[in-house]
Amino acid sequence: MRVIFMGTPDFSVPVLDALVTAGHEIVCVYCQPPRPAGRGKKDRATPVHARAEVLGLPVRHPVSLKSAEEKQAFADLNADIAVVVAYGLILPQAILDAPTRGCLNIHASLLPRWRGAAPIHRAIMAGDAETGICIMQMEAGLDTGPVLLRKATPIGATETTGALHDRLSAMGADLIVTALNRLDTLTPEIQPEQGVTYAAKIDKAEAAVDWTRPADEVSRLIRGLSPVPGAWTTHKGERIKLLGAEPAAGQGAPGTVLDDAFTVACGSGALRVTRAQRAGKGAQDAATFLNGCPLPSGTNLGN
């Protein structure tokens, strides 16, 4: 098929690779424009842009798709279909209608649950037992289109957003290839009105750990916000990012370190921090972190 690929972050890269490997003709890659990054604040190409250049594919990165010129340029590609995954721009109706077979979106949730911007984070933070990938026909609404294929996967008890992100990216790559191979035989499934939830963009204000909450809730927050933006607490005025957690036995005043293995008491129960990061330092496993930043039993976090 003649495919327009539309994606921007790391999550989208395996999908692009899978489409190329499957033999589809990628007539153009659309992604977000390069933006300032790093200490020098020099423009840096997005992960999809960088990968497309390695693959020798044409790249476009318009700031908007709303102009008549951009709509015409898109239509002139004469694509059979567009594959969209974490692109980052709203697609006007003229863009949705341009490819002969329309536009397919790879969404990282079991629609209609977790429509919107942060489905992986929200699934973990809410304590969902499973999530998955949906291949959806795009329409004007926010993730409202009919679903062509879906695949579920359990969420591990200690899994972070970073780990689940990588698994779902690989699943999406496999599932879109299957969808394109079976496109003529798939029956679109209209999303039900029941069970709709929205995965709002993560607000940094959500990242501060409230140790008075139950241990399972705090654990979900830590894992759901790992690695970005990272849940955090404080110790002697220094902010510490908490990037991994697992269940642990123990009880005490909320925020109190209970042993030398980074077990912390919560409002009910306790959890063990498995990965942490100090400001200006790299992320470390708990044992390595505690070697450089001792938190003896009785230490109070968050004050």
Tell me how far apart the alpha carbons of residues 214 and 251 are, in angstroms, rounded to a whole number: 11
**pLDDT per position as a tens digit, 209-257:** 999 999 999 999 999 999 999 999 999 999 999 999 999 999 999 999 9
Question: Is residue 244 within 8 Å of residue 253, measured between CB atoms?
Answer: no
Q: Residue 201: phi, psi to the nearest 5?
A: -55, 140
Tell me how far apart the alpha carbons of residues 106 and 39 are, in angstroms, rounded to a whole number: 33
Q: What pLDDT was estimated at residue 209? A: 98
Give Cα 235 distance to the centre of its chain.
29
**pLDDT per position as a tens digit, 9-29:** 999 999 999 999 999 999 999
Token pair 């499957």 in the structure block, residue: 22
Exposed, middle or buried, 209 (CB in 10 Å: 0-12/13-18/19+)? buried
User: Between 47-54 and 13-21, two packed helices, what is the crossing angle to 10 degrees?
Assistant: 30
* 3-class secondary-structure state, position 303: coil
> Percentage of the chain surpassing pLDDT 90?
94
Return mean pLDDT, the chain. Answer: 96
CA–CA distances in Å: residue 183 to residues 3, 67, 158, 186:
13, 31, 36, 5
**Token digits of residue 83:** 């594959």
**pLDDT per position as a tens digit, 71-93:** 999 999 999 999 999 999 999 99
Give Cα 15 distance to the centre of its chain.
14
Tell me how far apart the alpha carbons of residues 278 and 292 are, in angstroms, rounded to a whole number: 10
**pLDDT per position as a tens digit, 113-136:** 999 999 999 999 999 999 999 999
Q: What pLDDT was estimated at residue 242? A: 98
Q: Which positions ≥6 away from 85 have C-beta within 8 Å?
A: 6, 7, 11, 12, 15, 105, 106, 172, 176
Q: What pLDDT was estimated at residue 177? A: 98
Q: What pLDDT was estimated at residue 38? A: 72
* 3-class secondary-structure state, position 210: coil
